[in-house]
Structure 1
Amino acid sequence: MNKRWPGLLLTLAMLTGCDDQHILERTGFCHTISYDLLPDHNFKIGLSVPKADPNSKTDREVLQAIAHSSKDSQPKLVRQTSLLLVNGQLRNLLFSLPLAEGGLLDQMDTLSRDPSIPPKVKITLADGDAYDLLKKNYKEHPRTDRYIYTLLEKEAAYQTVPEATLYEFIRDYYDDGIDPIAPIIKDAGDTITVSGVGLFRGDRYITRIKPDDLHILALLRHNLRHADMTIHLASEGQHKELITFNYLKSDRKIDVLRDKSGKPVVMIHIKASGSVLEYIGKLKLHSDADRNTLLQQAARHLESRADEMIKFMQDNKVDSVGIGAYVRNSMSYASWKKLDWYEEYAHLTVKCKVDLNIVNSGQTL
């Protein structure tokens, strides 16, 4: 072998590496896109793009365009940057509440048709102007787009806030037995906070579940595997009683029965168990009688909260738990298609039953 070959190959490798670095520095991997509805029915569309250039004074570009549609904004955004914009690393789609109230189907249809947009991109609602939230810099969080993404990832990991993706939103929209949901975030001054979960009827945002009730929504909508949950049993005056579970697991089962007139009656059974991280109250966890009393009180409390949430959803005609899928599967296809589901759902009898168990209560003093 010619002695010059190793040196030539090394030189080529170095040159290729340099070319790749320059290409990377010239590429803008879109991270988050924001959507706001304007009074003239146009859209204000924002785009946050991280920068890979180590010589840049900022670690991201935030672009904005006024356009008739998402695709109409693309050439306007491209003209504002020297980077080659690509969607392959897109992580989050941020929609303002006024836009969501009018319906997201047009945006969702356009996004789902684009093969360059990942189906697992997050769907998030902004309580306020979505672009202003995305553009703002937070002192403790240098990149706002990544801050929002990691905040939602953490909440989903602890199953505090259900994860919502483009794929899941489209799936639930076209499934006539369940309605989509999406987390809501807002600017809280020096931080961003989760301000609830948005409930949709079809593609339109209708109402929200407040942060203090999100663990009830989680129990009703899906099974939990390692959640943390605090149950406030009493908080009147100086008398406070609460119990906090960690590593909480739950299994949800929904049965559809029939009353004497043949109308459906829905039973939601939830079995949950976890370790007690904290208990504040007068009962003693090392006492079997007190522990059983506490579990019964906590279970009845959860049942009451769950019944209230189901009633709230029925009043707003949003089937965020997916009760419709179980009712649909209990009847013929022809009967289901004749049914005005939302009207039936609003007056449906739904009962919740919760069974709680303590796996571990820690050491006793």
Structure 2
Amino acid sequence: MAKIVLLVACCLLIASCSKTKIVNKIELIQTIGVDLSGKSVKSTMLAGNYKKKGESGVQLLGTKSDTNLDMMSRINAQTRNPIEYGQLRMLLYGKEYSRKGIADMMQNLCHDSKLSTRMQLGVTDKEASDILAAVAQSEESYFLSDMIEHHIKNGTLPHNNLQIALFNYYGKGRDLFLPYLKLTEGKIVVDGLALFKDDKYVTKINMQEAFLLKMLIENSDNGTYLASIRATEQQSASPVLLHSISSKVKYSLNRLRPQPSLSVLVHMDAQIKYVPDWIDPTSSAHRSMLENELGSYFEQVLQALLSLCKKHNVDPAGLGDFVRSRSIRWNEQEFQASYPQMQTQVTVKLKIVETGVSL
């Protein structure tokens, strides 16, 4: 009993020594945008403005500096309460800032223990400050991070967060990719993925291609895709809307030198949401034809995505990392030189498990 009393007393003593922070006495930074403004760096922040119990709002803060290293101290000079960023859920880069390079920011993120590894990163087509201004009007400081997490869980974006982004950024044989957002007629839209080489933005892919990348890097269980097939060569292509129930990918290294050669095998179970009138999904013959045609279609578009990545010398699928894991003689510089000419053969085995259409 004496030991129990002593243990409880120690716990109370430790708790009493912790520093208590009252939520309406601090400024909680929840979203940050970073832009290039001439030769300066413009930082924009959304802070939760907690007034009374059950009431909250959003305040927009901003500063400019020659570097982003002191942005927190500069913002802190503008507020009546000290700022805290332990609840930061989103960091958004402007496109021009991303083109110049995000190495400093990524290094800061890597070393800051206050940040959650679940926070999201993204790139916007213009300035991050414009996106944050639109979010401020909605008074939802977590709007951007919630939107991206929704598209990851229920949509076509591959899994991503700070931990995955740092792994792709610092890992050998792979390149960083981040969600790409744009502002259209006052509405914020997720418009695909931004692809990086080292720390610099190179190009973007659309949402359809983001779904394909998701198939190449993870076993996915969600996502909708609008494909197209044709009955004959003379007939125009007809749309087919399908929902991916599950997909699994497997890589095989065929050859390492003189140029790497890879085989990619994708197994996909899909639910058909819409087919043209000339297809009867209840017919076993039509279903078999549809599986073969869609399998061939996905082989072509996946191969086209890999060709696009090789053209821009970016490796978001981590093919270099796979080759490295299969060879003790892997050399990063040698692989980078041969990557644009690397041979890839894609095979897709698609199975329709549900039609999902009523005729």
Q: Which TM-score band (shorter chain)? A: 0.7 to 0.9
Instruction: Give, in whole Å, the separation in 2 of the partners of 1:90 and 1:275.
Output: 37
What stretches of structure 2 of length at least 5 have no aligned partner? 1-18
CA contact (8 A) 2:31 2:47 kept: yes
Partner of 1:28: 27
Given the alignment, which residue of 267, 276, 282 partners 2:278? 282
Q: CA deviation at 1:233?
A: 2.6
* Match in the other structure for 2:245: 248
Q: Specify which of 307, 310, 317 is matched with residue 313 of structure 2.
A: 317
* 1:184 matches 2:180: yes
- Identity score, percent: 21
Q: Does 1:54 find its partner at 2:47?
A: no
Distance across 2 between alignment mates of 1:56 and 1:364: 47
Partner of 2:291: 295
Which consecutive segments of 4 or more residues in structure 1 shift more than 6 A?
55-58, 235-238
Could you tell me how far apart the structure 2 residues matched to 1:160 and 1:278 are? 18
Counterparts in 2 of 1:317-356, with a 5 A limit?
317-332=313-328, 335-337=329-331, 339-356=333-350
1:344 to 1:27, Cα distance in 2 relative to 1, 3 A: same
Equivalent residue pairs, number: 340
Aligned pair in 2 of structure 1 residues 291, 113: CA closer, same or farther (>3 Å)? same
How far, CA to CA, are the matches of 2:20 and 2:325 in structure 1? 55
Residue in 2 that maps onto 1:5: none
Match of 2:352 in 1: 358
SS at match of 1:59: strand
Give the 3 Å change call, closer, same or farther, for CA 348–240 of structure 1 in structure 2: closer
SS of 1:225 mapped into structure 2:
coil
Assess, with a 3 A threshold, how the Cα gap between structure 1 residues 145 and 188 changes in structure 2: closer, same or farther: farther
Q: Please say which of residues 186-195 and 337-346 is displaced more in the overlay.
A: 337-346
Structure 1 CA distance for aligned equivalents of residues 106 and 116 of structure 2:
12
Q: TM-score with structure 2 length normalisation? A: 0.87
The 3 A distance-change label for structure 1 pair 239 and 61 is same
Structure 2: distance between partners of 1:262 and 1:341:
10
Q: Deviations over 1:84-115 (max 9, x none)?
A: 21111110001011111122111111122121
Per-residue deviation at 1:280? 2.4
User: Residue 258 of structure 1 corresponds to which residue in structure 2?
Assistant: 255
| Partner Cα distance (1:363, 1:200) in 2 | 40
Number of the residue aligned with 1:3: none
Given the two structures, how large is their TM-score scaled by the length of structure 1?
A: 0.85
- What are the ranges of 5 or more consecutive residues in structure 1 without an aligned counterpart? 1-19
Matched residue SS, 1:277: strand
Match of 2:303, as an amino acid?
D
The within-5 A match list for 1:1-365 is 23-40=22-39, 42-54=40-52, 59-136=57-134, 142-143=138-139, 145-233=141-229, 241-246=238-243, 248-258=245-255, 263-332=259-328, 335-337=329-331, 339-362=333-356, 365=359
Q: Determine helix, strand or coil for the equivalent of 2:142.
A: helix
* Backbone CA RMSD of aligned residues: 2.7
- Seen in structure 2, the aligned counterparts of structure 1 residues 138 and 292 have a Cα distance that, compared at 3 Å, is farther
Cα offset, 1:262, TM superposition: 5.7
Superposed CA deviations along residues 246-279 of structure 1, whole A, max 9, x for unmatched, are 35200000101128x7643100100000222222
